Structures are given as C-alpha cells and as structure tokens.
Amino acid sequence: MPIVVDVDVMLARRKIAVGTLADLVGITPANLAVLKNGRAKAVRFSTLAALCEVLECQPGDLLRWVPEDDVEDADRQVTAPRASPS
C-alpha cells in the first residue's frame, strides 16, 4: 500500500506504550496494532485527530505516501534470496 503509517515512530519519540496510546485514543490495542503494522484499509478522521492530539503531532507525522514502485522495490529487496557466502 502506498500510504505508510508511522505511528511506531511517534510512539518511540514520545516514549508511549501501545496499550497506553490505545487507551488515551479510545481504540483497542488490537486496532492500534492493525494501524501501526500497516494492515489498516482506512482510518477515521476522529481516530487520526485523537492520535495527533495525544502524540502532539500533525497528520503528516503519522501518514506518508510512498510511490507504488518504491513499495514494490522495497518488497523485492526484503523477499529476494540472499547469495550464500562462498
């Protein structure tokens, strides 16, 4: 997906645990994990606004667009077999 969610980056910067953030935002830890791991198909504006309020950031700090070609290249690099050392 060309939209990358950087919630984990902001969690680390703010030193907030996933469970704590979920409680403060008003979503379940499981739903936050789906969002954090890039498996979400949509994000409600109310959830995005709550995340920004709690993390004291802008939506652009949490979401970024990556061209489809860049995503495919990154996927290929991750899944490409590595040459065995001789």
DSSP for 17-86 reads -HHHHHHHHTS-HHHHHHHHTT--S---HHHHHHHHHHHT--HHHHEEE--HHHHHHHHHHHHSPPPPP-
Question: Tokens representing 10?
Answer: 């902001």
75 pLDDT more than 90: no
Question: Average of pLDDT values for 51-79?
Answer: 82
Q: What is the CATH number of the domain that holds 52?
A: 1.10.260.40
**Is residue 14 a contact partner of residue 62, using CB atoms and an 8 Å limit?**
no
- Asked if residue 85 is part of any domain, the answer here is no
What total of structural domains would you count in the chain? Answer: 1
Domain that holds residue 71: 3-79
pTM recorded for the entire structure: 0.76
CA–CA gap between residue 43 and residue 55 (Å, rounded): 16
User: What is the tens place of the pLDDT at every residue in 8-61?
Assistant: 999 999 999 999 999 999 999 999 999 999 999 999 999 999 999 999 999 999
Question: Average of pLDDT values for 55-84?
Answer: 75
- Asked if residue 21 is part of any domain, the answer here is yes
- What pLDDT does residue 59 have? 98
- Asked if residue 11 is part of any domain, the answer here is yes
- What pLDDT does residue 68 have? 85
